[in-house]
């Protein structure tokens, strides 16, 4: 299995598909039509981050190192297309076969477990996720793109569906059973499933603790460098207070865990 050695394959894919939106089968798409399996996130402005500290923060129970999702700030983004669901095991298996990429370590014998075909891929690091997206002619979302998409157009919502407290009919969280099949919970207003719960998702951005204080107001791309990459969204392993649209984490790019996956985006031509 190759990893960095697959760069030539990925570059070739990008050279062919970068200028024209491609569907999953490689056919050209009209610039106004989202490719199959994707939905449009229209251009717009929203309030990114939390507007105030919660009671735990105010009491001093939350360390300052975790207060990195403030202050709230206005951000404007271009339109984009985003995968309606998280990338599944079956999707990733196609990539592994075509690109000769390494398999996740839970694929015993190097073969995808058939029972996981419709479950989000996990045990993939940032390079794995980025390589898959590039193979599809797509990319990982920026943190700002992910948060706006998760809100479903609700400017200051705490959850993808609004302000109602989470329950098991809305998201998969707080369970020892691991991730479940994608698309089993209602989508948000943009048509995106599992923007809370199931698996957390890689973003393209590097992490910088005070970045929100100086983030650009238009299409922010994150810091130029760093040690950690941003992860957004709570997972099946998190409690209800960790599946809000504000919740963010940062991990080493080479980290592979069973509660972390991804979805891709594509620029609207």
Task: Kindly list the structural domains of the chain, giving each domain's residue range(s) and its CATH number in brackets, ordered by start.
Answer: 4-18+41-267 (3.90.1580.10)
Residues 232 and 147: beta-carbon distance below 8 Å: yes
pLDDT digits (tens, 9 = 90+) for 130-147: 999 999 999 999 999 999
pLDDT at 157: 87
Q: State mean pLDDT over 164-187.
A: 97
Q: Is the pLDDT of residue 109 over 70?
A: yes
Q: What are 200's strand-pairing partners?
A: 260
Q: State mean pLDDT over 181-205.
A: 98
Tell me how far apart the alpha carbons of residues 198 and 113 are, in angstroms, rounded to a whole number: 18
Q: Is the pLDDT of residue 56 over 80?
A: no
Tell me how far apart the alpha carbons of residues 146 and 159 are, in angstroms, rounded to a whole number: 13
Q: Considering the entire predicted model, what is its pTM?
A: 0.85
Higher pLDDT, 139 or 54: 139
Cα distance between the two ends of the chain: 34
pLDDT bin (cut points 50, 70, 90) of residue 23 is very low
Q: Could you tell me the sign of the dihedral formed by the alpha carbons of 160, 162, 164, 169, in that order?
A: negative
What is the distance, to the nearest Å, from the Cα of residue 56 to the centroid of all Cα atoms in its chain? 27
Report residue 7: phi and psi, to 5°: -55, -40
Tell me how far apart the alpha carbons of residues 192 and 171 are, in angstroms, rounded to a whole number: 12
pLDDT at 66: 59
Q: State mean pLDDT over 225-251.
A: 94
Q: Is the pLDDT of residue 1 over 50?
A: no
User: Which runs of E-coded beta strand occur in the chain?
Assistant: 38-41, 44-48, 73-77, 80-83, 200-206, 229-232, 248-251, 260-261, 265-267
Q: Is the pLDDT of residue 99 over 70?
A: yes
**Tokens at 3, concatenated:** 């990893």
Helix segments in 136-259, DSSP class H: 143-151
Higher pLDDT, 13 or 218: 218
> For the packed helices 126-135 and 89-99, what is the interaxial angle rounded to 10 degrees?
80
Residues 159 and 245: beta-carbon distance below 8 Å: yes
pLDDT digits (tens, 9 = 90+) for 33-42: 999 999 999 9
């Amino acid at each position: 299995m190759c990893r960095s050695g697959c760069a030539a394959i990925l570059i070739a894919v990008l050279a062919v598909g970068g200028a024209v939106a491609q569907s999953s089968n490689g056919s050209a798409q009209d610039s106004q039509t989202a490719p199959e399996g994707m939905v449009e996130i229209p251009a717009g402005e929203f309030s990114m981050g939390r507007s105030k500290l919660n009671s735990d923060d105010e009491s001093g129970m939350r360390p300052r190192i975790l207060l990195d999702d403030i202050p709230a700030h206005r951000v404007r983004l271009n339109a984009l297309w985003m995968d309606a669901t998280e990338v599944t095991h079956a999707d990733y298996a196609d990539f592994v076969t075509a690109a000769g990429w390494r398999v996740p370590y839970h694929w015993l014998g190097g073969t995808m477990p058939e029972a996981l075909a419709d479950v989000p891929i996990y045990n993939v690091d940032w390079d794995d996720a980025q390589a898959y997206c590039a193979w599809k002619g797509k990319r990982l979302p920026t943190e700002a793109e992910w948060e706006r998409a998760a809100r479903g157009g609700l400017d200051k919502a705490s959850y993808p569906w609004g302000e109602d407290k989470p329950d098991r009919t809305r998201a998969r969280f707080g369970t020892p059973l691991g991730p479940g099949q994608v698309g089993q919970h209602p989508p948000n207003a943009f048509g995106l499933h599992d923007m809370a719960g199931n698996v957390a998702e890689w973003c393209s951005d590097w992490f910088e603790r005070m970045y929100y204080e100086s983030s650009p107001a238009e299409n922010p791309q994150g810091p130029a460098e760093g040690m950690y990459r941003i992860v957004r969204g709570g997972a099946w392993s998190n409690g209800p207070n960790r599946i809000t649209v504000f919740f963010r984490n940062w991990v080493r790019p080479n980290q592979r865990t069973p509660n972390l996956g991804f979805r891709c985006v594509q620029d609207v031509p």
